[in-house]
Amino acid sequence: MLLATLYAPIVLALLYFFDVTTTGILLTVLSATHIATLALKKERKEAFFLPLAVFVCSLFAAIFGNESYLRFAPLLISLGFLAVFALYAINKKSIPLEATIRFKKGELSERQKAFLASSHNWWIITLAINSGLHIYTLIFGDTLLWAVYSSFGWYVLFGVTLAINIIIGKLVVEKNIS
């Protein structure tokens, strides 16, 4: 997550000092190094997604000399998460439920399980909004707006979404238990 947060400021800093092609080459080499390091450590395949997205976008920026390609990496990451959540939904699974079962000590009530399963769709909507905002910053925003949203804005969106989800969960689940 730290890499995702720092990606846009790194792109801005590199573009300040170097042209687009050089920036693309530098980011391509850095992401290729990151991918190689992950491979040597035999990390899970999910760990490769972020550096692979950066690698592809940086390579295109280096080849075509267009900074717009560098701005696509956060969108690709957002779309990747949206695709994973959509696949889980198609398979009638729930990431929030599975994650809670994995990390929560103690048993969940049936109501808690039902709420967590249904909150999966809440996160699909949030991820779709996030992807839409990334698209908006790509099309209508300047580089600074893109950098701010890509670095910190999505944290605000996810934080607010999580807070609302927790509040609704407490109200719905605990009220019905009492």
Q: Please, are residues 84 and 64 in contact by the beta-carbon 8 Å criterion? A: no
pLDDT mean across residues, the chain: 89
Please tell me the chain's helix, strand, coil percentages from 3-state DSSP, rounded to the nearest 5.
85, 0, 15
- What's the pLDDT score for residue 100? 84
Q: Is the pLDDT of residue 176 over 70?
A: no
128-175 pLDDT per residue, tens: 999 999 999 999 878 889 999 999 999 999 999 999 988 888 887 766
- Which has the higher per-residue pLDDT, 109 or 168? 168
- What's the pLDDT score for residue 70? 93
1-42 pLDDT per residue, tens: 566 778 999 999 999 999 999 999 999 999 999 999 999 998
Q: Is the pLDDT of residue 110 over 60?
A: yes
Instruction: Report the candidate in 121, 143, 129 with the shortest Cα–Cα distance to residue 9.
Output: 143
Q: Rounded distance, CA 172 to CA 122, Å?
A: 15
- What's the pLDDT score for residue 128? 97
**Domain coordinates in residue numbering, the chain:** 2-177
Q: Extract the tokens encoding 109.
A: 């009530």
**Residue 115 DSSP SS3:** helix
Q: Would you give the end-to-end CA distance of the chain in angstroms?
A: 38
Q: Please, are residues 160 and 18 in contact by the beta-carbon 8 Å criterion? A: no
Which one-letter DSSP state was computed for residue 70? Answer: G
Q: Extract the tokens encoding 92.
A: 């009638």
Which range, of 53-57, 71-75, 99-103, 125-129, averages the lowest pLDDT? 99-103
Q: Rounded distance, CA 123 to CA 85, Å?
A: 8
Instruction: Report the candidate in 62, 76, 54 with the shortest Cα–Cα distance to residue 25.
Output: 62
- What's the pLDDT score for residue 109? 79
- What's the pLDDT score for residue 86? 94
Band of residue 80 on the pLDDT scale cut at 50, 70, 90: very high
Chain Cα centroid distance, residue 149: 12
Q: Rounded distance, CA 8 to CA 142, Å?
A: 13
| Full-model pTM | 0.86
